[in-house]
Amino acid sequence: MSDERYEVVPIGEVESPLTDAATAPKQGFEGSPEAWLVFDPALLEGLDGIAPGDEVILLTWLHRADRDVLRVHPRDDVSNPMQGVFNTRSADRPNPIGLHQVQIVSIDGGRMLVRNLEALNGTPIVDVKPVLKRA
Amino acid sequence: MSDERYEVVPIGEVESPLTDAATAPKQGFEGSPEAWLVFDPALLEGLDGIAPGDEVILLTWLHRADRDVLRVHPRDDVSNPMQGVFNTRSADRPNPIGLHQVQIVSIDGGRMLVRNLEALNGTPIVDVKPVLKRA
């Protein structure tokens, strides 16, 4: 196995009323407020074709995570038996990449208003992808 | 916006008969052969709870990608109008993270046989997550 490392360069940042991990929803569909995705102006061309109403997959870098954790109680609930982090959506994991399916509400230049995002204010955005529909 | 960078440390590697991007399937469900996920032995605890039959989301680092590309013809087909890379699943994008939904066929220690993976042989694995089922 190669021991190469790779560098993630954020493409934008989340602006959200959510600031506290302990009280934020654990999943986007569990009552998240609307939030803004604010993109690096140099990369706006890359967003061409995305339109209000679209469901997209957002990848974030969960920068407050503990990267040394390998086992957790799912949903921070000690009554849930310990699991490997790769069998959970815990933010604590070796590469803390957040995966979120959100819906675009509106677009204003390099800012997109979305619903169903549980990421905290200031979370770096690392990628956006369309939801695939099988033919 | 912060100009922080983050380091991705691969947790494993794909072993697949697929070696040529030009002829490999573009999506996992488009006729991919079975492939092995080979994990770093130091991280096996993190896989606890994953079982054969599970559908999981695999994140990879598409290490052959061109990170400076912002617009592409989807599916490398020039008859498809140019789109922003964030509106496509192109490997070429600022942070070339691959997103794959695969099914675990069998598990042998730190090796998992999966179906529906279009990633090329040698592709670094960066994360594994369960598919969420809404209550």
List the domains of chain B with CATH numbers: 12-130 (2.40.30.70)
Residues 62-81, chain A: which have Cβ within 8 Å of B? 63, 70-71
Tokens of B101: 């939904």
Average pLDDT along chain B: 93
pLDDT band at B134 (very low <50, low <70, confident <90, very high): low
**pLDDT digits 0-9 by tens, B92-103:** 999 999 999 999
Nearest of A57, A61, A92 to residue A76 by alpha carbon:
A92
* Res B133: pLDDT: 75
Tokens of A29: 């569909």
**pLDDT digits 0-9 by tens, A69-82:** 999 998 888 999 99
Q: Tokens 């990608």 map to which residue?
A: B65
ipTM: 0.93
d(CA B73, CA B62): 18
Q: Does B20 touch chain A (CB under 8 A)?
A: no
* Res B24: pLDDT: 86
Chain A residues in contact with B43 (beta carbon < 8 A): 70, 94
Please state the φ and ψ torsions of residue B109, each to the nearest 5 degrees: 60, -120
- Asked whether the beta carbons of residue A89 and residue B132 sit closer than 8 angstroms, the reply is yes
Three-state SS for B87?
A: helix
**pLDDT digits 0-9 by tens, A82-101:** 999 999 999 999 999 999 99
- pTM for this predicted structure: 0.94
Q: Does B107 touch chain A (CB under 8 A)?
A: no
- Asked whether the beta carbons of residue B47 and residue A84 sit closer than 8 angstroms, the reply is yes
What average pLDDT does this structure show over B70-89? 93
Q: Does A57 touch chain B (CB under 8 A)?
A: yes
Residues 22-41, chain B: which have Cβ within 8 Å of A? 27, 29, 38, 40
- The residues of chain A scoring below 70 in pLDDT are 134-135
Query: Least CB-CB distance to A86: which of B6, B8, B46?
Result: B46
Question: Is the dihedral angle over the CA atoms A114, A116, A121, A125 positive or is it negative?
Answer: negative
For A17, A33, A104, A116, B80, the CA distances from A113, given in Å and listed in that order, are 13, 11, 6, 10, 28
Percent of chain B at pLDDT exceeding 70: 98
